[in-house]
Amino acid sequence: MKAEVYSIDGKSLGRSVELPESIFGIEPNDHVLYLAVKQFLANRRSGTHKTKEVSDVSGSTKKLVRQKGTGGARKGSGKSPLLKGGARIFGPRPRDYSFKLNKKVIDLARKSALSTKFKEEKLKVLEDFTFDTPKTKSYLSFLKAFGLENRKSLVVVPDYSENVLLASRNIKGANYTNVNSLHAYDILNANQVFLCEKALEALNN
């Protein structure tokens, strides 16, 4: 399996690199991808939602009307969930939504996502690059060269370059990550994935 190497100007450099079939040529496992995406989104939830139940509502516990003879329903207090301004029945409470997955499952999900993008021809190999100054204009020029200025993109590098990170962070949909932080969700969420050459070597290792 071979892939052409491109420059950040969007031009082919006339050479190619070998892509390991064990990473880019496997049959994607849809269920593992589902679990990885579900875990990623669940782990991002703050879980700080809260509504007031009877014990949280302030107010008198005095019985509003007599128990019988009114022709209406029984009303224990003004904090009743049945009354305006009262409590909520079984409302949400703060909780932790995160859950764990085995490392092998996460690795398989990442490989499945990379294989999916390669089959869809939405994965390109880039020559290693950096910017002399952290200018958003430089990163936009790179995206425009590939026709991605208004689409989601992901650039995978072996190690972070501060100038590239600063240049990309103000652009909507432009994501930038290193190999160690690469997640299946990031890959699937991008319209185009770019792998720098040294990042590809790091993935092989």
What pLDDT digit, counting tens, does each position of 41-80 carry?
999 999 999 999 988 898 888 898 899 998 988 888 889 8
Higher pLDDT, 160 or 111: 111
What pTM does this model have? Answer: 0.81
Q: How far apart are the first and last CA of the chain?
A: 17
What pLDDT digit, counting tens, does each position of 98-142 carry?
999 999 999 999 999 999 999 999 999 999 888 888 899 999 999
Could you state, in order of their start, the residue ranges of all structural domains in the chain? 2-45+97-204, 46-96
Q: How many CA atoms lie within 13 A of 83 on its CB side?
A: 14
* 8-state DSSP, 68: S
pLDDT for position 49: 93
Of these ranges, 11-15, 87-91, 106-110, 127-131, the one predicted with the greatest mean pLDDT is 106-110
Confidence category of residue 83, pLDDT binned at 50, 70, 90: confident
Question: How far is Cα 67 from Cα 64, in angstroms, rounded to an integer?
Answer: 9
Question: How far is Cα 189 from Cα 80, in angstroms, rounded to an integer?
Answer: 45
Burial class from Cβ neighbours inside 10 Å (0-12, 13-18, 19+) for residue 162 reads: exposed
**Span 189-200, average pLDDT:** 93
Of the options 3.10.20.30, 3.40.1370.10, 3.30.750.80, 3.30.465.10, the CATH number for the domain spanning 2-45+97-204? 3.40.1370.10
pLDDT for position 74: 85
Q: Determine contact, residues 129/167, Cβ cutoff 8 Å.
A: no
pLDDT for position 144: 93
